[in-house]
Chains A and B, each alone.
Chain A
Amino acid sequence: MAGMSGKRLQKELAKIQGVLPPGISLVSAEDLREWQMDLIVPDNPIYPPDEEYRLRFHFSANYPIEAPEVVFMLLSNPERKIPMHPHIYSNGIICLDLLDKQGWSPVHNVESVCISIQSMLASNTKAERPPGDAEFVRSNRSRPRDINFLYHDPTV
């Protein structure tokens, strides 16, 4: 199956180097399996317009049949923080149905995932972390895809 992910990622990379929606940019994709994107959130006072957030995408050999692993990165140079959101843990793990087994579809791509995350941030009204954030960050050992999030707050 490695064949499928290779071809597909090459084509996505070619496309993404063309035109991207506003606020989304490609930082690096030297290793076809791991990409980094920068994201700006428009029109939301919780997120300053000059604050950029870094997303790390990791693709398995079964992409796009399997969802990519997408997390926010905390960096100091350049400075990148983890955005405040009731579905984003302070270690960068994102709670988004689109990214897990049930919600993922292979017709999604890097660009559509970025747009979804950007829109999730843009429509957010609560500048807080998920309940149990500290405990989760301290004790979590699972990979994001193996975590069964309970989406019990549809108002966000």
Chain B
Amino acid sequence: MASYQADQLKEQGNAAFRNGEYLEAEALYTQAVQKYSRNPLIFTNRANVRIRLMDWNGVVNDCSKSIEITGANAHNHKAWYFLAQGQLGLHHPNEALTSALTAYDQVLHPQPTAKISPKDLETFSAFVLKCKKAKFAARDLERLRRQGDLRAELESLLETQRQRDLDEVTTQLGRSQLGNIEASERSHEITTTLDDKITSLRTVFGAADPAKHEAREVPDYVIDMITFEPMHDPVMTKNGHSYERATIYEHLKRSPTDPLTRDPLTIKDLRPNFGLRAACEAFWDSGASEWIADWS
């Protein structure tokens, strides 16, 4: 009885959601779970509303609850997808990527009872890409910041050393251990040596600083020829060309032909390209976010 009432409230919540009345929908879903708290769909729906409301903590909590009810290994692709969005909203790109990959995988290999929409693979694939970009941008930013701090520290140490050396010259001059001209020459030498060292230091850090690199071309083999985006799950046609899986699936839905040769082609003819996938992973690891000018 309680679960029936909960379903009624859920339907009302769905209607409110469709009308764009997000707070109303959230309130209805909340009433629903109070009546009956073991329906994972209500939590997933509430998470969806909370995404619109940008309540990221709420999203993560609801998705976690939904996944807890169905079981972490069971099929619940929407929960994993919404979870990824929540985690991205909270600036946890590593976790977001893991969740996004789980959602993608569940849509690629759905259980027979799963309700997948035709657009899900493409949507989830694009979201995996977004999470990857966020993850590597965050990591590269962190590395830059640490490098910046280290350089500042080293320059500061060199300055301190210079000051000590100059003070030493002044002391020796005061004790008449050095003549004026000699002292002047020593001071000049100390300063010049320091300037050279600082220049060297900046050159070395500059060479390591990816921001100074010329915009390198992303290697062609990493890029999907249809979306022009880097690939994460490339598949290969009979002709040896590879495309992002979700993209070529979309193409084949409209035209079951090879994009380059126009020969007949179906999903069954595609093969995963593990070597290329590894190359794409390596590309991400090599500081990819610095290479791509319009990184978004």
Flag whether A4 is at the interface (Cβ < 8 A).
yes
Interface string of A96-107 (1 = CB under 8 A from B): 000001111111
Flag whether B250 is at the interface (Cβ < 8 A).
yes
Q: Contact: B229 with A7, CB < 8 Å?
A: yes
Q: Kindly identify, within residues 1 to 45 of chain A, every residue whose CB is under 8 Å from any CB belonging to chain B.
A: 1, 3-4, 7-8, 10-12, 14
Flag whether B251 is at the interface (Cβ < 8 A).
yes
Residue among A4, A10, A65, A102 facing the most chain B CB atoms (10 A cut-off): A65
Number of A interface residues at 8 Å Cβ cutoff, please give it: 19
Docked pose: A106 CA to B265 CA in angstroms: 14
- B261 and chain A: residue at smallest CB distance: A105
* Chain B residues within an 8 Å CB radius of A101: 254-255
Interface string of B239-277 (1 = CB under 8 A from A): 000000001001100110101101000000000000000
Flag whether B227 is at the interface (Cβ < 8 A).
yes
Q: Contact: A106 with B251, CB < 8 Å?
A: yes
Q: Contact: B228 with A12, CB < 8 Å?
A: yes
Interface string of A74-86 (1 = CB under 8 A from B): 0000000000000
Q: Contact: B226 with A64, CB < 8 Å?
A: yes
B138 to chain A, nearest CB (A): 21
Contact of B260 among A10, A102, A107 (CB under 8 A): A107
Q: Contact: A1 with B260, CB < 8 Å?
A: no
B122 to chain A, nearest CB (A): 7
Asked if A66 meets B254 with Cβ closer than 8 Å, knowing A4-B227, A105-B259, A105-B262, the reply is: yes
Flag whether B126 is at the interface (Cβ < 8 A).
yes
A54 to chain B, nearest CB (A): 26
Number of B interface residues at 8 Å Cβ cutoff, please give it: 19
Flag whether B149 is at the interface (Cβ < 8 A).
no
B85 to chain A, nearest CB (A): 14
Q: Kindly identify, within residues 115 to 132 of chain B, every residue whose CB is under 8 Å from any CB belonging to chain A.
A: 119, 122, 126
Docked pose: A120 CA to B92 CA in angstroms: 53
Flag whether B294 is at the interface (Cβ < 8 A).
yes
Q: Kindly identify, within residues 97 to 156 of chain A, every residue whose CB is under 8 Å from any CB belonging to chain B.
A: 101-107
Q: Contact: A105 with B260, CB < 8 Å?
A: yes
Q: Contact: A11 with B228, CB < 8 Å?
A: yes
- B241 and chain A: residue at smallest CB distance: A107
Contact of B226 among A10, A65, A102, A103 (CB under 8 A): A65
- B254 and chain A: residue at smallest CB distance: A65
Q: Kindly identify, within residues 212 to 231 of chain B, every residue whose CB is under 8 Å from any CB belonging to chain A.
A: 225-229
Docked pose: A66 CA to B122 CA in angstroms: 15
Q: Contact: A8 with B259, CB < 8 Å?
A: no
Q: Contact: B260 with A14, CB < 8 Å?
A: no
Docked pose: A14 CA to B229 CA in angstroms: 14
Q: Contact: B122 with A1, CB < 8 Å?
A: yes
Given contacts A7-B228, A107-B226, 6 further A-B contacts (CB under 8 A): A1-B122, A4-B122, A7-B227, A7-B229, A64-B226, A106-B226
**Which B positions have Cβ atoms within 8 angstroms of A?**
119, 122, 126, 225-229, 247, 250-251, 254-255, 257, 259-260, 262, 293-294
30 contacts between A and B (CB under 8 A): A1-B250, A3-B126, A4-B122, A4-B126, A4-B227, A4-B247, A4-B250, A7-B228, A8-B226, A8-B227, A10-B294, A11-B228, A64-B227, A65-B251, A65-B254, A66-B254, A101-B254, A101-B255, A102-B255, A103-B262, A104-B255, A105-B257, A105-B259, A105-B262, A106-B226, A106-B247, A106-B251, A107-B226, A107-B259, A107-B260
**Which A positions have Cβ atoms within 8 angstroms of B?**
1, 3-4, 7-8, 10-12, 14, 64-66, 101-107
Query: Lowest 5 CB-CB distances: which A-B pairs, in order?
Result: A11-B228, A106-B226, A105-B259, A107-B259, A107-B225
